[in-house]
Amino acid sequence: MNLKGRSFLTLKDFTSQEIEYLVDLAAELKENKKKGITGNHLKGKNIALIFEKPSTRTRCAFTVGCIDEGGHPEYLGKDDIQLGHKESVEDTAKVLGRMFDGIEFRGFKQDTVEKLAKYSGVPVWNGLTDTYHPTQILADFLTLKEEFGFLKGLNLVYAGDGRNNMANSLMIGCSKVGINFTILAPKSLWPADELLNVCKEYAKESQSTITISDQLEAVKGADAIYTDVWCSMGEEDLAAERIALLKPYQVNKELFQMTGNVNTIFLHCLPAVKGNEVTEEIFEKFDRIIFDEAENRMHTIKAVMVATLGN
| Bind-site residues for L-ornithine | 165, 228, 232-233
Q: CB of 183 within 8 A of CB of 209?
A: no
Specify whether 66 is catalytic.
Answer: no
CA neighbours within 13 Å on the CB side: how many for 50? 25
Among 6, 41, 59, 133, the one annotated catalytic: 133
Specify whether 237 is catalytic.
Answer: no
Q: CB of 13 within 8 A of CB of 44?
A: no
Specify whether 136 is catalytic.
Answer: yes
Q: What does the alpha-carbon distance between residue 270 and residue 96 come to, in Å, rounded to a whole number?
A: 30
Q: Which of 161, 174, 166 is nearest to 249 (CA)?
A: 161
| 192 DSSP assignment | P
| Edge-to-edge strand list for the sheet holding 265-268 | 210-213, 180-184, 155-159, 224-227, 265-268
Q: CB of 302 within 8 A of CB of 135?
A: no
Among 6, 136, 174, 199, the one annotated catalytic: 136
Query: How many residues are there in the chain?
Result: 311
Specify whether 174 is catalytic.
Answer: no
The annotation places the binding site at 55-58, 82, 106, 133-136, 165, 228, 232-233, 269-270, 297
Q: What does the alpha-carbon distance between residue 108 and residue 112 come to, in Å, rounded to a whole number?
A: 8
Among 228, 231, 268, 299, the one annotated catalytic: 228
Among 6, 268, 297, 299, the one annotated catalytic: 297
Specify whether 215 is catalytic.
Answer: no
What Rg do the C-alpha atoms of the chain give, in angstroms? 19
Specify whether 269 is catalytic.
Answer: yes
Q: Which of 219, 228, 206 is nearest to 261 (CA)?
A: 219
| 191 DSSP assignment | P
Q: What does the alpha-carbon distance between residue 149 and residue 134 come to, in Å, rounded to a whole number?
A: 21
Among 6, 59, 106, 242, the one annotated catalytic: 106
Among 66, 199, 269, 299, the one annotated catalytic: 269
Q: Output the CA–CA distances (angstroms, integers) from residue 95 to 107, 140, 200, in the order listed.
A: 19, 34, 39
Q: Which of 223, 211, 206 is nearest to 184 (CA)?
A: 211
The annotation places the binding site for carbamoyl phosphate at 55-58, 82, 106, 133-136, 269-270, 297
Just list the catalytic residues.
Answer: 106, 133, 136, 228, 269, 297
